[in-house]
Amino acid sequence: MDNRTPVTIISGFLGAGKTTLINQLLQSDRARNITVLVNDFGAVNIDTDLIIKREREVMELSNGCVCCSIQSDMVAQLHAMFTSDNPPEYLLIETSGVAQPRRIASVFGYPQLSRFARLDSVVTLIDVANIDGLSDEAHHLVRSQIEAADLIIATKADLVDKKTRSAIYDRWLFADLPVLEAIHGAVPVSVLLDQRRGRLEQISAPEAALPNQFASAHWSSDKPVSYKRLQASLKRMSGALYRAKGIVYCDEFPTERIVFNKVGARIDFAKSGTWDGVPRTDIVGIGYANAITAEQIRHELEVAQGPG
């Protein structure tokens, strides 16, 4: 019997719905004790604040994006986790939206980790409402995420009609690659955990780290942000800023914690209870480097402060 810790990698491009899927999984009565390792693009990991905390830990991979230069740091952190006095029973890794899953999956073939963990599956989410509108720079990355997958979850399926979804699958997916459609991250736990789909021996050598195609910026402030001004800033950044997310201290709702998400042209704000501690805005923005800089992103968020 294989008693090693199963590992499921949740992959997908920026805004595909990885955090939403994991939160749905953690709320399920059938979910076991799961440790979630969260990796985000940039110096600050917003997703550790957005993922629901349960019995097990939600851990942050330090130093930024796992797809780039810190692969050795990830191996060391995972080894320490598996050899600790309280190793995980099941590990979910939420990758950065610009990570190449092959690079992450390949580390479970390393001797330091293969004694303790086995790759159960790589699950890639595709956002069917936005995938055809991606820039040329993003296409190669999304292809690599799909090619590494054992299972595809098509998110935001309610926003696209059946005929269009079928055409997307024909253009983007291999014919024998299983696809599940999801709305708001609702996927049965039974199809995600302990599937033994992992094909570690079929994973090719890791690709080169992603070129500098994306600009990322983190901005935080303890001053209130105007909803109207923030909307105006986002409009000015338009298509250059593809993805943004965070928690907003809003001038119009000062006692409420506002969760903010932007994917492509779609922008959502949602109330998430009252503040636990000092109110503070934390936003991460990711755009195309040929259209916007990190300094421009931070400036546009800075001018959103103050009353509307």
| pLDDT over 90 at 213, yes or no | no
Task: Indicate whether 222 pLDDT > 50.
Answer: yes
The answer to whether 303 and 232 are in contact (CB under 8 A) is no
Per-residue confidence at 258, pLDDT binned at 50, 70, 90?
very high
CA distance 264 to 260: 13
- pLDDT reading at 203 higher than 60: no
202 pLDDT more than 80: no
Average pLDDT of span 17-36: 79
- Taking the CB of residue 306, how many other CB atoms lie within 10 A of it? 11
Place 31 in a pLDDT band, splitting at 50, 70 and 90: low
Give yes or no for residue 42 having a pLDDT over 50: no
Helix (H) / strand (E) element for 238: namely: none
Instruction: Please check whether residue 21 is in contact with residue 15, taking contact to mean a CB–CB distance below 8 angstroms.
Output: no
Residue 200 above 70 pLDDT?
no
Q: Other CB atoms closer than 10 Å to residue 22's CB: what's the count? A: 24
Q: What percent of the chain stands above pLDDT 70?
A: 82
Distances (CA, A) of 101 to 85, 105, 176: 28, 6, 19
Strands 117-127 and 179-181: unpaired
Q: Which of 152, 169, 81 is nearest to 117 (CA)?
A: 81
Residue of higher predicted confidence among 197 and 217 = 217
CA atoms lying within 13 Å on the CB side of residue 10: 28
Give Cα 146 to chain centroid, integer Å: 15
Query: pLDDT tens digits, residue range 281-306?
Result: 999 888 888 899 999 999 999 999 97
**Cα–Cα distance for residue pair 299/278, rounded to 1 Å:** 23
Q: What is the pLDDT of residues 138-185, one digit of tens each?
A: 888 898 899 899 999 999 999 999 999 999 999 999 888 999 999 888
- Distance, in Å, from the CA atom of 241 to the CA atom of 182, rounded to the nearest integer, reads 25
Name the percent of the chain lying above pLDDT 90.
37
Mean per-residue pLDDT, 96-123: 89
Report the pLDDT averaged over residues 17-29: 82
- Poorest-confidence range of 15-19, 68-72, 94-98, 125-129? 68-72
Question: Range with the lowest mean pLDDT among 75-89, 134-148, 201-215?
Answer: 201-215
Q: What is the pLDDT of residue 74?
A: 78
pLDDT of residue 275: 92
Q: Provide mean pLDDT across the span 211-239.
A: 88
Q: 38 versus 122: which is more confidently predicted?
A: 122
Q: What are residue 271's DSSP bridge partners?
A: 258
- How, if at all, do strands 151-155 and 117-127 pair? parallel
With a threshold of 0.95, does the pTM exceed it? no
d(CA 244, CA 1): 44
